[in-house]
Structure 1
Amino acid sequence: MSYDLAVWDGPRPADDAAALEVFEDLYGRFMKGEGQPPTARIRQYVEGLVARWPDLSADDEDEDTSPWSDGPLINNASGPLFYFGMVFSKYQEAALFAAGLARTSGLICFDPQDRRLIA
């Protein structure tokens, strides 16, 4: 079981309902099909996450220390959207860090499970 977050580059939606609409639009345009290279800001954000916790590799040697549910993490980014999962047992610390990093990076962080913006 995993816990997912969405982070994107763009203006902050007015409220949770507007954020859900933006997320669904971005997901439909960028995460379905072939995808696109991540924007520079999204790439920098992902680099910040894996600087904190190791990315998962094919040999899974970091499985016990990394909160990410899959890897490499950058594969979950397309254009201005990054949609990624964390293992449930480690998601609280990782989500708190991820949301803070998004905020300081000028990105939007959205919880698709609870359908709400994360401040």
Structure 2
Amino acid sequence: MSYDLAVWEGERPADDKAAARVFTDLYERYVHADVEHPPAERIVAYVAALLEQWCDLTEDEEDTSPWSTEPLIGEACGPLIYFPLRWSMAEEASTYAAALAESMGLVCFDPQQKRLRP
């Protein structure tokens, strides 16, 4: 079981409903696209900052990484990264990931609860 987060570039939506619409639009446009979209520079920087806190699964010899996918950057498409976290570490890692996104001027959204983070 995993917990998913979505982080993207752009203006922070006015409320959770607007954020859900933006997420759905970005997901359809970039994740389900027939064309591959390289990750945007700010998303690459965000992933790099996450990996400073916890290593990528590709390097996790001690089973301490919260990520459920490898490599983490592989989940990024254009201005969006939609990534899973291990359920056992979801609270700590998602709190950090949301705060980091906010500090970098990115939007963080919880697709399960359909709400903006933090």
Q: Quick check: TM above 0.5?
A: yes
What amino acid is the match of 1:10?
G
Gaps of 5+ in 2: none
- Aligned-partner SS, 2:93: helix
Q: So what's the TM-score if we normalise by structure 1?
A: 0.94
Aligned to 2:108: 109
Aligned to 2:2: 2
| Whole-Å separation in 2 of the counterparts to 1:103 and 1:6 | 12
Aligned to 1:27: 27
Alignment of 1:1-80 (within 5 A): 1-33=1-33, 34-57=35-58, 61-62=60-61, 64-80=63-79
- Aligned-partner SS, 1:69: coil
1:63 Cα deviation from its structure 2 partner: 6.2
Gaps of 5+ in 1: none
- Aligned-partner SS, 1:86: strand
Q: So what's the TM-score if we normalise by structure 2?
A: 0.95
| Whole-Å separation in 2 of the counterparts to 1:76 and 1:68 | 11
> 1:56, 1:63 within 8 Å by CA — same for their partners in 2?
no
**What percentage of residue pairs aligned between the two structures are identical?**
55
Residue range with higher mean Cα deviation, 94-103 or 30-39: 30-39
| Whole-Å separation in 2 of the counterparts to 1:54 and 1:62 | 9
RMSD over equivalenced CA pairs, Å: 1.2
The Cα offsets for residues 39-92 of structure 1, whole Å up to 9 and x where unpaired, read as 1100000000111101011xx743611000011000000000000000000111
| Whole-Å separation in 2 of the counterparts to 1:62 and 1:26 | 34
